[in-house]
Amino acid sequence: MVNRLLFGGLLILLNLYACSAWAVNCRRAATPLENTICNNDNLRWLDQTLDTIYRSRLDHDDTRSIRQQYAAWEASLQTCTTDNCIRRAYYKGINMVSDVKTDFTWQGQWWNMLAPHMSGSVLQFSRSSEWSIDTDIRVWAGVNRQEFTAEARKVYGMVLVENIHDVSDCLILIIPKQDGALQVHSNAEWGCRLIMPNGAFIDGVYQPAEKDPRPSATLYSLGVLPTDALDQKFRALVGEDYQQFVDTANVFIYENDRDNMGATVVSMWLRGAANRQTAMIIYTPQGDIWAARLFPPARPGGKLQLHYFTTREDKTQVPRTLDIWKERYQDE
């Protein structure tokens, strides 16, 4: 019995080792190749990107075939002795592991399907040649927005954006997939973060469309409200203000129930406009609801406007939790 357990444990360890792939551990780098990768931010990013894609493929596809391909690639990487050789090897490895669509047509507008609500990123391709392509990029999170234009180059069937607004530290790798989507990886942790709007990111899966193809959000789909029934009840309560609550739920958090009603308290705001467009929803297990939203006046310079709603008959009794929240933004 003990031998069986030891053998089973050994198989688990071997599988874990096989899944870890090359992925350099820079805290334990020992060989010249490992140290070269760890001392170059761009090479380390390529190593991390390849490892991420490889692990994803192992979860969905023929692991035996992928591991065999990877082993052959890893052997070729070991022969590299220069940064350029290592860089080319990684691009080739990412191409192989990603199963790149070689006859991809680089044109049109592409939307990030994984971007959060009231945030997003769009890629626009034009003037594609054999080795390069013009790429326009729009990125936003709430009211924080930025646009970039870059001449990207094609590498192993993929597109690499290296220079954006004279910022050479931001690298964006765009990979055409066999299913017709685009997979985008960036060095957001240290490079692209410096030029991206606060809270925005460009990594994700992109689909072509003339306008945003993502499904319309509801407070239920966003996770602000826990059930569709409660969402429908809230929609009936606030009427035309419902969409404004949805548009405010760019960022939302739970807060303390200062009234000790056993209620759930959700505070939300639009990123970049937290002091001008914000809202709070309070609901109890018994079905009581209190909600308010603050928004800018029609005329600049005026005080924030407040819309307040409740299912209670007494509309004048406002929970202390809501009063404290309101005082953050609005003078009494």
Contact 181, 98 (CB under 8 A): no
Is residue 7 over pLDDT 50?
no
Contact 201, 142 (CB under 8 A): no
Reported as a pLDDT band with limits 50, 70 and 90, residue 1 is: very low
pLDDT score at 2:
42
For the segment 27-45, the average pLDDT, to the nearest whole number, is: 93
Share of the chain above pLDDT 90, in %: 75
- Round to whole Å and give the CA distance between 22 and 89: 13
Mean pLDDT of the chain: 90
Q: Which two tokens stand for residue 276?
A: 């001008």
Q: Which two tokens stand for residue 142?
A: 């709430």
CA 79 to chain centroid, in Å, comes to 36
Is residue 4 over pLDDT 70?
no
pLDDT score at 215:
96
For the segment 38-47, the average pLDDT, to the nearest whole number, is: 94
Is residue 6 over pLDDT 70?
no
Is residue 13 over pLDDT 70?
no
Q: Which two tokens stand for residue 235?
A: 């929609």
Is residue 207 over pLDDT 60?
yes
pLDDT score at 331:
58
- Encode pLDDT of 56-98 as tens digits: 888 877 788 888 889 999 999 999 999 999 999 999 999 999 9
Angle at which helix 83-98 crosses helix 63-77, to 10 degrees, equals 170
- Encode pLDDT of 251-285 as tens digits: 999 999 999 999 999 999 999 999 999 999 999 99
- Encode pLDDT of 140-159 as tens digits: 999 999 999 988 999 999 99
Residue 281's identity, in one-letter code, is I
- Please report which helix (H) or strand (E) contains residue 53, including its range: helix 41-60
- Round to whole Å and give the CA distance between 173 and 111: 15
Is residue 17 over pLDDT 60?
no
